[in-house]
Amino acid sequence: LATPMKRHGTVEEIAAAALFLGFDATFTTGIELPIDGGISTVDAP
């Protein structure tokens, strides 16, 4: 695969990220959390 992680995310990994953002105890406001296997950190050609 073309992502730095060399694999797709699992349903459980995506769900865990969504739960983290929805959890009342997290200290986050207005965050964008890319769940893309690191592809957003790679420079485009």
Q: Is residue 17 part of a domain?
A: yes
Q: What's the structural domain count of the chain?
A: 1
Q: Is residue 20 part of a domain?
A: yes
Q: Is residue 15 part of a domain?
A: yes
| Residue 10, helix vs strand vs coil | coil
Q: CB within 8 A of 15, min separation 6: which ones?
A: none
Output the tens digit of pLDDT for each of the chain's 45 residues: 677 888 888 999 989 988 888 888 777 777 788 888 888 887 765
Q: Cα separation of 11 and 30, whole Å?
A: 23
pLDDT for position 6: 86
Q: Is residue 21 part of a domain?
A: yes
Whether the Cβ atoms of residue 13 and residue 35 lie closer than 8 Å to each other: yes
Domain span at residue 10 reads: 1-25
Q: Cα separation of 9 and 35, whole Å?
A: 8
pLDDT for position 44: 61
pLDDT for position 12: 95
**The pair of three-digit structure tokens given for residue 24, joined into one six-digit string:** 């009342």
Q: Is residue 39 part of a domain?
A: no
Q: Is residue 31 part of a domain?
A: no
Q: Is residue 3 part of a domain?
A: yes
pLDDT for position 15: 92
Whether the Cβ atoms of residue 5 and residue 39 lie closer than 8 Å to each other: no
